[in-house]
Every structure is written in structure tokens, then in C-alpha cells.
């Protein structure tokens, strides 16, 4: 007679064996999908930062319709339109209005997580002295020329300034030209990645070079991307002072100090009020 028990055991073993490939496939699918999920998630984490920033500006934009008209041009960093936007005289006044309104939401925004840009700041600190020293070493001609051009035509297009600078720079110093090239490179980089640290650097650099319109513009751009960067407010206020918008600078700094307790902003405010900073 047939041994059914033995046959059943053999059948059980066969069934287990037959299910092994299915289990293997299932497990591999699960593992692969987990890897893919993790991969895409990590990708998102990397890319999310920029969209968030752009979202910020987008969500802020409807608050002041006037700003929307001016500010979108600013991040494009076309040099001539930038100057024009500043030249219209409305932008320095209107933009701070936008800042005023933004400040009212500062408390909400302060809760948002923002990646550390410390390393970018470090880069700036390491590179800044190089640029700072340059104008001192070089004959005063360069700064004079810049000043002269501003005195004569303070609202002139930057193209002209750059041309004059180039002409003079060729005669005076090669290093000077390198600095402007560096700015252009950084502007290019900023266009690609919209990193506020880069725009802040450009603002600082333009401020140092005495191009306060540009400095103001880049400080504003930086502020729009990340309003918590202290230095952007400082450059913004300083540029306003240099552009003869002292009252607006004081007002802006006061509003900023309401939401933050920046000591540097306070010092700058005192200096502006007392007339130390001109």
C-alpha cells in the first residue's frame, strides 16, 4: 500500500520549494522599491530647499503687488534692468514697504527650518579681505573713477560704468578686473542655484565697490530668499543711506529690530541716527 504520509511530506517540501522563487521575487521587489523610494526621497531633500525659497517669494509676492512688478526683475540679474528699477526711485521706497509687510509675518517664518549657510559665510569671510585690500593697495584712481561716474551720472546704466572700469582697470591693475570677473562668476552661480549666501556676497562686494544701487538690489534679493540673514539687512540699510534714503534705512532697521535682536543692526541704527554713518 502507498505510504501517504511520506508522500504528503514530500508534497509539503515540494510546495515550500515552489514558493521560494515567489518569495525571493517579492522580497527583491520590496527591497528594490525601498531603495528607489529612499533614493528619490534623498533627491527631494536636496532639491526641496530651493523650491521652498522660491515658494517664499511667491507667497510673499501677492502681499505687495507693486513689489511683484519690480522684484521679479531683480533675481534675473540683468545688469541694466536692475539699475533701471532702482533708478525709478520707487523701488527703494516700495521695496522696504514690502519688507515692512514681511516683517509682520516674521514671527511665523522664524519657526521654519533653514539649512545652515555657515560654510558660505566662511567662504565670504575668507575672500572678502582679498577684495578689501585691493582698493587700498591700488591707486585711488579706480575708486575715484567710480565715484566720478556716480557723481556725474548716478543713475547711469551699469554698462557704462563697467566699460569705464574696464578701460581704467586695464591701465591700472589686472587684479581689479579679476574682482569684477569674480563677481560675474558668482552672479552666474547665483543664477543657477539661487543661494542667498552668493547674492549676499555680491551685495557686499558691490557695496565695497561703491555700487550702492547694485548692492541695494542684491541685498533685497538676498532678503527675499532668506529674510533671516542679518547681513542682508545691514547692507540693505547701508545702501539706502548711501542712496540718500536715510529715513527709509532707519525705518527698515527699526522694523527689523522689532523681530530680531541683532546687535549689529542696532549699532548701525545708532550710527545712522547719530550721523556717524553717512
Partner 1 sequence: MSSSIYLNSKNVFLDTVNSKDYIQLDRVSTIYQSLKDSIKKPLKMILLYGRPGTGKSMFLTKLYNDLSSTQEVHIYKTPILDESEFYKTLAQDIFSTKYNGELNFTQFMKIVDSVSLDSIPVVLLDEAQLYSDILMEKIRLLSDTRTIKFVITLHKTEKEDLIAKEHFQTRIWESIELENASPIELKIYIQKKLMKANCFDTANMFTNKSVNKIFKLTNGNYRDTNKLLYALFDIYTAYDENHQLSSIGTTNVPNKLIEMSAIHTGLINA
User: Cell for 250?
Assistant: 532707519
Of 273, 271, 193, 204, residue with least CA distance to 233: 204
Residue 49 is a binding residue for partner 1 (CB under 8 A):
no
Task: Give the Cα separation of 177 and 173 in Å (integer).
Answer: 7
User: Cell for 245?
Assistant: 534714503
Q: Which residues contact 58 (CB under 8 A, 6 or more apart)?
A: none
Residue 1 or 111 having the CB closest to partner 1: 1
Helix (H, G, I), strand (E, B) or coil at 34: helix
Task: Give the Cα separation of 54 and 203 in Å (integer).
Answer: 19
CB of 19 to partner 1, least distance (A): 13
Question: Is the CB of residue 239 less than 8 Å from the CB of residue 207?
Answer: yes
Of 232, 224, 178, residue with least CA distance to 203: 232
Residue 14 or 130 having the CB closest to partner 1: 14
Greatest extent of the chain over all pairs of C-alpha atoms, in Å: 117
Of 8, 194, 169, residue with least CA distance to 117: 194
Per-residue interface string for the shown chain with partner 1, residues 63-92, x marking contact by CB under 8 A:
------------------------------
Residue 22 or 119 having the CB closest to partner 1: 22
**By CB under 8 A, which span of 1-9, 21-29, 116-124, 259-267 interacts with partner 1?**
1-9
**Owner of C-alpha cell 527698515:** 252
**What phi-psi label fits residue 195: left (phi over 0), alpha (psi between -120 and 50 degrees) or beta?**
beta
Residue 6 or 46 having the CB closest to partner 1: 6
CB of 21 to partner 1, least distance (A): 15
**Residue 144's Cα: distance from chain center in Å?**
30
CB of 10 to partner 1, least distance (A): 5
Question: Is the CB of residue 146 less than 8 Å from the CB of residue 188?
Answer: no
Size, binding site for partner 1 by CB under 8 A? 12
Residue 6 or 108 having the CB closest to partner 1: 6
Binding to partner 1 in span 101-130, by CB under 8 A: none
CB of 15 to partner 1, least distance (A): 8
CB of 2 to partner 1, least distance (A): 4
Per-residue interface string for the shown chain with partner 1, residues 2-21, x marking contact by CB under 8 A:
xxx--xx-xx-xxx-x----
DSSP E strands: which ranges in the chain?
none
Q: What letter would DSSP give residue 210? A: T
Figure out which of the listed residues 1, 111, 113, 152 binds partner 1, where binding follows CB under 8 A: 1
CB of 12 to partner 1, least distance (A): 9
Residue 8 or 270 having the CB closest to partner 1: 8
Residue 4 or 126 having the CB closest to partner 1: 4
Residue 10 or 78 having the CB closest to partner 1: 10
CB of 9 to partner 1, least distance (A): 10
Residues that bind partner 1 (CB under 8 A): 1-4, 7-8, 10-11, 13-15, 17
Amino acid at each position: 500500500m502507498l505510504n501517504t504520509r511520506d508522500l504528503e511530506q514530500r508534497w509539503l517540501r515540494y510546495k515550500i520549494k515552489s514558493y521560494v522563487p515567489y518569495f525571493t521575487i517579492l522580497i527583491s521587489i520590496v527591497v528594490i522599491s525601498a531603495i528607489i523610494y529612499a533614493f528619490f526621497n534623498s533627491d527631494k531633500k536636496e532639491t526641496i530647499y530651493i523650491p521652498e525659497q522660491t515658494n517664499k517669494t511667491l507667497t510673499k509676492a501677492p502681499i505687495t503687488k507693486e513689489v511683484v512688478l519690480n522684484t521679479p526683475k531683480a533675481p534675473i540679474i540683468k545688469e541694466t534692468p536692475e539699475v533701471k528699477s532702482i533708478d525709478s526711485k520707487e523701488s527703494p521706497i516700495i521695496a522696504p514697504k514690502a519688507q515692512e509687510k514681511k516683517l509682520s509675518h516674521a514671527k511665523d517664518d522664524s519657526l521654519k527650518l533653514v539649512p545652515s549657510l555657515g560654510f558660505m559665510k566662511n567662504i565670504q569671510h575668507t575672500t572678502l579681505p582679498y577684495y578689501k585690500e585691493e582698493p587700498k593697495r591700488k591707486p585711488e584712481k579706480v575708486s575715484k573713477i567710480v565715484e566720478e561716474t556716480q557723481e556725474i551720472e548716478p543713475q547711469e546704466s551699469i554698462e557704462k560704468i563697467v566699460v569705464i572700469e574696464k578701460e581704467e582697470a586695464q591701465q591700472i591693475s589686472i587684479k581689479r578686473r579679476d574682482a569684477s570677473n569674480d563677481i560675474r562668476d558668482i552672479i552666474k552661480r547665483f543664477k543657477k542655484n539661487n543661494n542667498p549666501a552668493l547674492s549676499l556676497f555680491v551685495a557686499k562686494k558691490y557695496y565695497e565697490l561703491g555700487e550702492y544701487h547694485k548692492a541695494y538690489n542684491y541685498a533685497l534679493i538676498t532678503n527675499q530668499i532668506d529674510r533671516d540673514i542679518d547681513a542682508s539687512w545691514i547692507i540693505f540699510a547701508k545702501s539706502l543711506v548711501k542712496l540718500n534714503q536715510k529715513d527709509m534705512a532707519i525705518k527698515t532697521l527699526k522694523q527689523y529690530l522689532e523681530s530680531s535682536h541683532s546687535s549689529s543692526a542696532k549699532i548701525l541704527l545708532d550710527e545712522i541716527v547719530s550721523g556717524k554713518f553717512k
